[in-house]
Copies of this chain bind each other. A is one copy, B any other.
């Protein structure tokens, strides 16, 4: 990861990183050094607790912010994802599917959708980050519909936007 960052000419506008239990356990010092240069950390709830040594995710986030990242995205599998930053917390559910076929790659598809959306709009303000969470969840939900990359290979932009609107229907309410 650090090697990849070094290859970016100049200072990258935004660096996001995923990591996992293997690196947290085996190469913690190098991971902590790399985290100093990371803006957004995207990990699952187990990894969040492992890295921060905190069970509560809000306290875990505050702990992780001291390590470098200013934004934490916690991926929670079938329960969706949660973003924590200085603005507060934003939650998005996982898309309810009757027959998820293969969870492999859901988290990576989420990361791709999230970063791809931010890159496409060139912004990281609160509204953009919320939409990035939705598009990440959209891509994760398509990824699990078929085995491997099968569903992503046939995916159309119109389907992506339609599912994003479906996420709105899934979560929006008026007080």
Contacts and interface: CB of A to CB of B under 8 A. Distances in A.
Interface of A: 56-59, 76, 79-80, 82, 84, 88-93, 96-100, 127, 130-131, 133-134, 161, 164-165, 168-175
Contact of A171 (B58, B91, B99, B127): B91
A80 B88 contact: no
Given A58-B97, A93-B91, A127 B173 contact: yes
Q: Kindly report how many copies of this chain are found in the complex they form together.
A: 2
A131 B89 contact: no
A173 B88 CA distance: 14
Nearest to A79: B79
From A79, A80, A99, name the one whose CB has the most chain B CB atoms within 10 angstroms.
A79
30 contacts: A56-B97, A56-B99, A56-B100, A58-B96, A76-B79, A79-B79, A80-B93, A82-B96, A84-B96, A88-B169, A88-B170, A89-B96, A90-B171, A90-B173, A91-B93, A91-B171, A92-B173, A127-B173, A127-B174, A130-B172, A131-B173, A133-B173, A134-B173, A164-B175, A165-B175, A168-B175, A171-B171, A171-B172, A171-B173, A172-B172
Nearest to A132: B173
A171 B130 CA distance: 9
Contacts of A92: 171, 173
Given A59-B98, A98-B58, A90 B127 contact: no
